[in-house]
Structure formats: C-alpha cells, structure tokens
A and B are shown apart, each in its own frame.
Chain A
Amino acid sequence: MNPLKGTYLSRRLSSFYLSVSARHSRCNSTSATPPADGHLPSVASSEILRTKREAGLRTPGIKWADEDSSAPTRIIVGGRETRKMNTYQAIRDAMSIALAKDESTVVFGEDVAFGGVFRCTMGLAEEFGKERVFNTPLTEQGIAGFGIGLALMGHTAIAEIQFADYILPAFDQIVNEAAKIRYRSGGGYNAGGLTIRTPTMSVGHGALYHSQSPEGFFMGASGLKVVIPRSPIQAKGLLLSSIRDPNPVIFMEPKILYRSAVEQVPIDDYELPLGEAEVLIPGSDLTLLTWGTPVYHCETALHLLQSPPPELQPVIPASLRSANIELIDLRSILPWDVKTVAESVSRTGRLVIVHEAGMTAGVGAEISAEIQKRCFLKLNAPVRRVTGWDLPVGLQYEKFNIPDAIRILDAVVETLAY
C-alpha cells in the first residue's frame, strides 16, 4: 500500500497528484517504499491513534448498533473484532454498512464508480450494483440538488464532492435548500437523509484549489451539521451517525489522513456522537482546541513543549515545559460543543484555537466570541487563534501559510506566559 504522498488531481490540467494507490502512484507502480517526504511523522507515530484492538473497542462514546442504547454501558468488549484500516478504508466500511442495512441508500458523485479519486468507494459499485453506487456528471450543484431530492423522498443519499474546494457551486443547494427545507415546509419535509462527503484541508502541495478548509462558510447555515473526523475509528462512527442523523450533514475528510492515519477499527456497526467534542489529552493550564489534520500538529507541539530539542531550548522557558495542556478535538463544527470547551477553559483559563482556514471569520472567530462571553472572568490570557493567513493557499508557500507544530508551540508558549 502506498502512503499518501500528496496527490492531487487538479481537475483541469493536472500534472501531479497524490499517490493514493497504484492507480494514482506517480510512477504507476505498486511499490511500498514511502516517498522521501514521507508521512506526517506526527501522524505515523501519534499516540492519539488507537492501534490496538482493545483500545479501538473502548473508543469513548462508542454506541454499538446491536445494543440497546438505554441499557447500561457494557465494559465487556469480548466477541467484537477490529481490523487494521486507514481512514479511506474506514469510510468505505461505513458506507458499506449503510448500503447493506438500508436498501434506500445510494452513493454517488464524480468518479465514484471506479472507487473515487481517494479510493473511498472502492468496490462498492461491484458489491451493491450500479443502481446504488454510480458516477454523476461533473456538476456539484447537481449532485447536491439530486441528493436533496432523494432525501425529500425519505431515501438515504451519500453524495461525494471530489474536493471541498469544489463544493462552492453547490453552496446555494446546501445553504438555501438542504439547510432550510425543514423550516420552509413547516416541518413537512426535510433533507435529513443527505450526507455530503468531501475531502478537505491541505497536504503540502495542493495549491489554491486542492487545499482549502471551507467549514467556516457553512457555520451560519442553521439546519445543517458539519463534521470533521481525525482518524479511521472516528471517521467510521461519525460518518454512520451523519448518515442516520435527521439533518443534512457536510462530512469533511482531511485528505492527508486517508492513508497516513491507521487504527484498529471495530468491524461492527457503531456510531460516535455528533455535536460532541472529545478531550484527547486532559490538562489544567491551557486548552488547545482543533479538528482534523492539525490535531497531529498540536500533539507534536505538546511534545516539543515538554521536551524541546536542544535548538529550541533557548526559546522555550523551562518553567513552561511542565505545563499541562488539555487537547480537545472539536469533531463537530456545527453545532459545536460549547459545553465541553467552556468547561475546559473555565478550568484552564487559557484557550488556543488552531485551524487551517484563514483567521478572519473563521470558525475560531465564532468560538472565541462565545468563550470570551462565557468564561470572561476565568480567562488569564486573550483567546489566541493559530490559523492559515488570510490568503489563498499558494503552492510554493504552503509551509509558511498553513499552521504547523512550531507556530502552535509558539502560540502556546506566549499564551502560557501572558
């Protein structure tokens, strides 16, 4: 299996692309040698990933489909199995379960039938037939509108927009139609059966139109939910929840994690809760809040803070190295879990928010405003945002545009020392 090298299919005149598979390998080979620039080292070695069966089965908040949700939580996980999966395999697994359990489910989008450009629908057309898993013409507004129509008829529609950068032609359908139809029809109709999956965030060389994080654009669209998973287990559980949620959901998949994040994923049908953040590392001195790819940059930054390499020691005050940082994965952008975040900041008195999208009117702006209202007297430092600059994502400049571990580390140090 080839690691993600950073492949992009520029839809127009592309000449380079992530090697997501033999098909997308730069040399069209099936070589297993990782590329020189490799995985994100922080993902490969992340302690956040659940790489053991036991850990996978004990994922917090997991709700097994075959267990009565009103029954007490079982501690015993015997009899359940996991399988090693990367994120695209876990997403495929979730869609396979949805297709198998609900005959009304269909999966569609551009290049979906042969497996999708990121391989998330691989083999589904063969397994469930072309009536249920099919290619669409190249029209994002059409894809969204078609999915809304299916959902209005009570069917389950799982639509793929090939890159989140290309979701904007569908903005009208999503914001004016999917999000508002329940309200507009007095509760008579809803597009709850619609889930729109789309790859998001940067990988290092996607340039302007294969790197964006447009979650913030949807944040004011009440009626809609927006979800961003960080790992295979999360992706499967959150996607199944999204598919079954009574509201339309935009499900954004960080594309660099399709291959690089690998976990022992429970093979059974399970869900993870929407609208709930997850505390990944508990702490008492500062709350570090993020979602998607930067979760791993944050983890790296915390390692650097705790034990800085010699070259960073002069700029990391020794007194701050033992600080206990609470790392939270927001997971749901809309609605976002204000309870967990406010509770955390009330304890820590400091908040640093990290996202790849630009700062101005980004998701961090909304969270900062609400947290400053709720936690004003508890704050020991201004809420700090570490974001992409307010710029398009220029190809050659990406490493100095999208936040990395050093920028997060710097903001954490400054906020601790404020």
Chain B
Amino acid sequence: MAQVFGNENDTSGKGRQMPVHFGSPEHHFHTISSPLATQIPQAAGVAYALRRMPNRRSQNIAACYFGEGAASEGDFHAGFMLASTIPSPVLYIARNNGFAISTPSSEQYNGDGIASRGPGYGIDTIRVDGNDVLAVLTAVREARRRCLEQGRAVLVESMSYRVGHHSTSDDSFAYRARSEVEDKKRIDNPITRFRLFMESQGWWDADAETELKARLKADVMKAFKKADSLKRPELGQLFTDVYGGEEPWNIKEQRQELVGLLKKYGQIWEPWRKELGKFRNTGQDLLNPQGR
C-alpha cells in the first residue's frame, strides 16, 4: 500500500515508481519495470546465477510473469532463446487474459497463443485453464518440479479473461461488449468456481464468505487510509540511488543547485511551498542536513 501511494514507508521504490510497481530483495521479488518483457531475458540470467550458487542450485528457480501482449516484444524471443540454449531453471508464467489494453489477443498473434512457441524454443510447455485455481496450482507445481529437475526453462500458459479495465481510467466497454464481460464474471470466474468447490466440500459457506469479505474490506480501507495520510519520502531521495559508490560531480552540483533554488524560492513561492509540505521533513533534509 505504501508503494501504491508512494509515501515515506515505500521501501520498494522510495516513491519513485507508479503504483503497483513493487519490489523486495528480502522476498526475492525483483522490482517491477513499466517497459514490457524486459525482465524475460533477465529471468534467464537470474536462473543461471541460481544454478551457479551452491546453496541454491537445485533448490530454487526463477519465476517470471508476463502477459500475452508482452510476449510480442523482441525481449520475449531473446529471453526464451537464452533460457533454452544456456540451460537456466526459469519458470515462465504467461497470463493470457485476452487483452493488451484495447488490443484483443486475436490481433496479438495468429498462431496458437503463447504455449505453441515453447516447443519451438525447446522449452517444456503446458497450457492450463487459468480460471481453475487447482489446475493452475497443479500445473505450476509440476512445472517447477521439472524446472528444478532438468535445470531448464519451463513455460506455463494460463488462459484467463481480463474482467477489469486495463487501468482505473480505462473504460474497456469502448472496445468490447459489456455483456461479454458480465458473462465471464458470472460464469467463468476463478473466485466463484473455487468458492463453489469449497462449498461442495463443506469447507466454506455464505456466512464465512460474508465475514471474510467484510473483514478484508475493512483491512484494506484501514491500510488505504493510513497510506494516504502519510507524507512522501524525504525530498533528498530525489537524488539518491542513481549511482553506487562515489557520486559523480554533476549529480552533486545539481543537488546543490536545487538547494540554492529552494532557499531562494521555497518559502516565498506558493506552489513550491505547498509542494515542499508534501514531503517528509518538508525538504529540511536537503536545506539543513546538519540541523535535523
């Protein structure tokens, strides 16, 4: 939530990235990048490194998620070629939800989805009903097992349907029928299907569902409100993490230039004063680094 709001608690990107661009070295989660498919070849490199680490070899694999749209990028093909030619235990999980923004998958490829490409690269591949939770679990388990056992890439293509809009400002009914979306939501909804399975086993019922929904909603709203009330990170974070090691002169001088400008205009120019107020310590970390 802190990342989504880019607030002072955002440890994954220090308020630098757009929402839903998470990352956490602690959780072995490589920070998300907006450019599509760039991490497909990176995953092959990550997996190759895992193979070369005695304590992780045959224990860990790299998992890389992407959509059917990203699979059209050159990096997809480059990554698959490398992962297969230089054997790397990477599990590629293609989530085929039928749409890349407005473009339907029928305009994304003329072949048989993403799965058909796996064998061409010599990569073991399975396609699974992505709206069947247990089927996905089973397929991914088996894929991971093979990945570890063979030390090579495996591809899972999970077939689903994007019931939501691409983003909060996308109205997808401009390019697809509302009835189509409503049908998918009602009939082929992975959550509904799994709930029905749980109910048939006697593990779940309407009361439990109501309680869970209410509790989760309250939890989310609480976290949402808290995240929304926090300040941005310190303004000085604008300039950090560009380089490791010694900071080049241009970055140093530009920071000093901004400090000079803030001293001159930061309080007298209302748009800047207002903006400074949104940062933790209102820019004092830059203006007055000793006196904090």
A residues at B contact (CB < 8 Å) = 7-20, 22-26, 28, 110-111, 113-115, 117, 135, 137-142, 165-166, 168-169, 205-210, 311-312, 314-315, 359-360, 389-392, 394-397, 399-401, 404, 406-407, 410
Contact = CB atoms under 8 A, between A and B. Distances in A.
B70 A138 contact: yes
Nearest to A389: B254
A135 B262 CA distance: 47
Contact of B32 (A13, A20, A359, A397): A13
Q: Interface of chain A, helix or strand or loop or mixed?
A: loop
Given A169-B75, A397-B235, A209 B15 contact: no
B232 interface: yes
A397 to B, nearest CB: 4
B241 to A, nearest CB: 9
Given A207-B18, A208-B34, A23 B171 contact: yes
Interface string B94-107: 00000011110001
B277 to A, nearest CB: 12
Nearest to B232: A396
A391 B17 contact: no
A165 B33 CA distance: 12
A274 to B, nearest CB: 30
B18 A395 contact: yes
Interface residues of B, number: 60
Interface stretch (B141-149, B190-198, B265-273): B265-273
A12 B36 contact: yes
A158 B17 CA distance: 31
Given A311-B270, A395-B17, A110 B101 contact: yes
A17 to B, nearest CB: 4
A315 B34 contact: no
Interface of B: 4, 6, 14-21, 32-36, 69-70, 72-75, 100-103, 107-109, 165-171, 174-175, 232-233, 235, 237-239, 242, 250-251, 254, 258, 261-262, 264-265, 268-272, 275, 278-279
Given A141-B74, A397-B238, A399-B275, A135 B17 contact: no
A312 B238 contact: no
Contact of B239 (A207, A208, A360, A389): A389
Given A138-B100, A360-B250, A12 B33 contact: yes
A311 B269 contact: yes
B174 A23 contact: yes
B261 A24 contact: no
A14 to B, nearest CB: 4
A10 B175 contact: no
A22 B174 CA distance: 9
Contacts of B174: 22-23, 114-115
A114 B235 contact: no
B16 A24 contact: no
Contacts of A114: 102, 174-175
A37 to B, nearest CB: 11
A139 B36 CA distance: 9
A91 B101 CA distance: 22
A82 B250 CA distance: 48
A315 to B, nearest CB: 6
A207 B258 CA distance: 19
Nearest to B165: A28
Given A24-B170, A392-B16, A394-B238, A359 B74 contact: no
Contact of B258 (A19, A115, A168, A400): A400
A315 B74 contact: no
Nearest to B175: A114
A309 B242 CA distance: 37
B20 A28 contact: no
A26 B169 contact: yes
Most B-side CB within 10 Å, residue of A24, A26, A396: A396
A25 B165 CA distance: 12
Contact of A15 (B168, B242, B261, B270): B168
B264 A139 contact: no
A138 B75 contact: no
Contacts of B233: 396
Given A17-B170, A400-B275, A395 B73 contact: no
Contacts of B251: 389-391
Contacts of B250: 359-360, 390
A210 B34 contact: yes
Nearest to B16: A394
Most A-side CB within 10 Å, residue of B166, B174, B271: B166
Contacts of B109: 137
Nearest to B267: A311
Contacts of A111: 100-103
Given A111-B102, A394-B16, 16 more contacts: A16-B18, A16-B167, A137-B69, A140-B73, A169-B73, A205-B18, A207-B34, A389-B251, A389-B254, A391-B254, A394-B237, A395-B6, A406-B265, A406-B269, A406-B271, A410-B261
